[in-house]
């Protein structure tokens, strides 16, 4: 019996250590799992806004690039319109008189942009004025381009008549580039009064 008790004590002394080790490892394992879950949750909470910021920054950069290209395209078409006006001795003959339905959206957006910057620049003209003229609209690389022109007449006390040329470029997504200028006409000669990007 004593021997049996000793074995039991030996077993008891061995087994409690074994059980005690398991008990200690289980809370440590649980704590490690909770720590990992907390870290993963924090990383997810931080990563999602960062990814959104990166995505928005990329969209903004693309939009700026598109707008820059539209501005260049509008300027090139303005210069072309200016030279065609000089060659034809007035508004180019191939420009259509009045407004065509196809150019209303781009014309509305461009004239709205100019009026937002300087509401006196257009002299009260809008795209629905019957005396306005416009080039055929060209579409390339997902961009639409059209040039508007009208005779703004002779201002009181001015020695020249004034022609206004507005060139507009618009992307499929609605970004616009606008370049406009005024030309003075004296004895059949054309002189730039002012011009610039809007």
In sequence order, what are the residues at sequence separation of 6 or more whose Cβ sits closer than 8 angstroms to the Cβ of residue 20? Answer: none
pLDDT in tens, 125-183: 888 888 899 999 999 888 899 999 998 887 767 788 899 999 999 998 889 999 999 99
Q: Which helix (H) or strand (E) is 183 found in, with range?
A: strand 176-186
Is residue 143 classed as helix, strand or coil in its secondary structure?
strand
Is the pTM higher than 0.95? no
Task: Quickly count: other Cβ atoms within 10 Å of residue 101's Cβ.
Answer: 6
Rounded to 10 degrees, what is the CA torsion of 71, 77, 83, 88? -140
pLDDT in tens, 22-80: 555 566 666 777 777 777 777 777 766 766 666 566 666 666 676 788 998 999 999 99
Q: How does DSSP assign 55-92, residue by residue?
A: HHHHHHHHHHHHHHHHHHHHHHHHHHHHHHHHHHTSS-
**Cα(119)–Cα(116) distance, integer angstroms:** 6
pLDDT of 9: 47
pLDDT in tens, 112-129: 999 999 988 888 888 888
In sequence order, what are the residues at sequence separation of 6 or more whose Cβ sits closer than 8 angstroms to the Cβ of residue 198? Answer: 110, 113, 114, 117, 118, 178, 179, 180
**Cα(152)–Cα(8) distance, integer angstroms:** 114
Q: CB-side exposure of 13: number of CA atoms within 13 Å?
A: 5
pLDDT of 1: 43
């Amino acid at each position: 019996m004593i021997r049996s008790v000793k074995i039991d004590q030996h077993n008891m002394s061995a087994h409690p250590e074994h059980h005690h080790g398991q008990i200690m490892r289980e809370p440590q394992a649980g704590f490690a799992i909770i720590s990992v879950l907390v870290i993963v949750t924090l990383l997810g909470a931080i990563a999602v806004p960062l990814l959104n910021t990166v995505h928005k920054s990329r969209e903004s950069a693309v939009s700026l690039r598109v707008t820059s290209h539209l501005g260049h395209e509008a300027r090139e078409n303005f210069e072309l319109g200016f030279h065609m006006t000089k060659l034809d001795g007035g508004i180019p003959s191939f420009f259509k008189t009045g407004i065509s339905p196809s150019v209303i959206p781009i014309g509305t957006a461009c004239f709205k942009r100019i009026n937002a910057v300087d509401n006196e620049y257009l002299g009260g003209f809008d795209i629905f004025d019957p005396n306005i003229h416009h080039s055929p609209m060209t579409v390339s690389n997902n961009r639409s381009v059209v040039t508007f022109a009208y005779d703004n007449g002779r201002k009181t006390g001015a020695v020249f008549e004034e022609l206004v040329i507005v060139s507009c470029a618009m992307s499929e997504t609605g970004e616009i580039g606008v370049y406009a200028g005024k030309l003075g006409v004296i004895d059949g000669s054309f002189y730039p009064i002012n011009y610039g990007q809007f």
